Amino acid sequence: MCGRYSITTAPEAMRQLFDVDTALNLEPRWNMAPTQAAPVIKLMQEGPAKGHPVVAMMRWGLVPGWAKDIDIGVKMINARAETVNEKPAFRGAYRYRRCVIPADGFYEWRTEDGVKQPYRVVRRDRAPFAFAGLWELWEGTGEGSALETFTIVTTEANAAIAHIHHRMPVMLFAQDAFATWMRADPKDAGQLMLPCDPGLVEAYPVDRRVGNVRNDDAGLVDPVEVPAAKAPPKPQQGSLF
């Protein structure tokens, strides 16, 4: 899964990478968490700019249009690539409202000696990228409560991070992939829902402070030393075991 990520790319660099007119006045985020507002690239669906990519701030955790309240979004921060075209919560968005979510790293946890150790996954060249995503407009009661929300599509982990977690986000690295994901028909877009080349990414341990959503500073992305795993005790001489 993907439950935390970072997006610290400068607005101008983001504007150029995603071919949008503006990237808003975005502050760097080192610890983006579910239910928070995050920048998302979507295609305009109406008006003179229809079909043009724009940056929108959306709430992380997709809320289907039929939902009675936004609480359901907490359970829908990720969508499995294997079932996005089947699940009622995601199939409409997969067909008509695909988006890309700018990022430059994401976090996963692995239990080591009884302690959950976070790892940051990045491109080896440290360049920004995007997650494949889906978005929805939830109109709530229809009394001014309209809200745009998104989810991150996940797939099986590649060899670079499978030792940390068995799932990973669908990562997109170039403008042609961004365009294909957002513009192509569902069948062609589906060809992108695969683990990325393991040679393109790497994971390194970071401070456990990232587990607290109140922490959001540059120190979270610095690598830390992790003690070597303890070897099992050697049997004593004369032991039956």
DSSP, collapsed to helix, strand or coil, labels residue 123 as: strand
- The single residue of 108, 136, 148, 196 carrying the catalytic annotation is 108
Which residues are CB-contacts of 3 (< 8 A; sequence separation ≥ 6)? 33, 34, 77, 78, 107
2 catalytic per annotation: yes
CA atoms within 13 A on the CB side of 89: 20
202 catalytic per annotation: no
Q: 174 with 128: CB under 8 angstroms?
A: no
| CA–CA separation, 35 and 165 (whole Å) | 22
As a dihedral over the C-alpha atoms of residue 186, residue 188, residue 189, residue 190, rounded to 10 degrees, the angle is: 80
| CA–CA separation, 148 and 161 (whole Å) | 31
DSSP percent split of the chain into helix, strand, coil, nearest 5: 20, 35, 45
Residue 39: CB atoms within 10 A of its CB come to: 22
DSSP, collapsed to helix, strand or coil, labels residue 15 as: helix
Task: Give exposure, 129-159, as e/b (b: 16+ Cβ within 10 Å).
Answer: bbbbbbbbebeeeeeeeeebbbbbbbbebbe
- Give the active site residues: 2, 108
